[in-house]
Chains A and B, each alone.
Chain A
Amino acid sequence: EPEVTQTPSHQVTQMGQEVILRCVPISNHLYFYWYRQILGQKVEFLVSFYNNEISEKSEIFDDQFSVERPDGSNFTLKIRSTKLEDSAMYFCASASVGNSPLHFGNGTRLTVT
């Protein structure tokens, strides 16, 4: 069964550094999403992306965050200058058409020290 793949599984970075989290969505999917989950808290929506532009973003998704689909297969989340509070699991998801379900990857654990 096709799946969403995320790399790396764990990323450790120092405060102030830039990080790029990578995702390979399911190949025929058109809608892409990033979520995060701080340890012990809810899964929170960050951003959705369709047709090469942001469809919707949350208050969390400020100017430090950006997303890109640089080629036909990858979908990336960049955090320009990481803060301690950015430490979380980051989940990528994709969906095909219409109101189809989102399919999630197994996440990247980001640790900011």
Chain B
Amino acid sequence: DAKTTQPPSMDCAEGRAANLPCNHSTISGNEYVYWYRQIHSQGPQYIIHGLKNNETNEMASLIITEDRKSSTLILPHATLRDTAVYYCIVRVKAAGNKLTFGGGTRVLVKP
């Protein structure tokens, strides 16, 4: 699986949009971009994933650049409960393939 690079930490203000960047410059055509988060040692929680088109669900939006070498996870209105470690993961499109976690971005939402 291609590697990802994320900033180790970032702060954002409650009520504002949080934009979390991720670089995956070696991504290949059969690899998806997944985002998970982990709140204080709980199990990782799935947020969203995409291949090349932008995606949106009730939790977040995922913007993938046209060349697919980077992406941004957007939390539209951050709350204190969004404080967590956010993981950007590239995963090969294959049935049952594992996820490989990196260090993620520690996001602190401040009042």
Contact = CB atoms under 8 A, between A and B. Distances in A.
A43 interface: yes
Interface stretch (B3-11, B13-21, B43-51, B68-76): B43-51
Given A42-B103, A45-B100, A99-B32, A104 B43 contact: yes
A101 B103 CA distance: 19
Contacts of A37: 41
Nearest to A97: B95
Chain A at the B interface: mostly helix, strand, loop or mixed? strand
Nearest to B47: A101
B95 A98 contact: yes
Contacts of B97: 99
A93 B43 CA distance: 9
Given A104-B44, A107-B41, A95 B102 contact: no
A99 B95 contact: yes
A97 B96 CA distance: 7
A33 B98 contact: yes
Contacts of A31: 95-96
Given A45-B100, A102-B99, A91 B44 contact: yes
Contacts of A97: 95
Nearest to B38: A43
Nearest to A57: B98
Contact of A95 (B45, B93, B96, B103): B96
Contact of A43 (B49, B96, B101): B101
A101 B34 contact: yes
A111 interface: no
Interface string A69-113: 000000000000000000001010101011101111111000000
Interface of A: 4, 30-31, 33, 35, 37, 42-45, 48, 50, 55-56, 89, 91, 93, 95, 97-99, 101-107
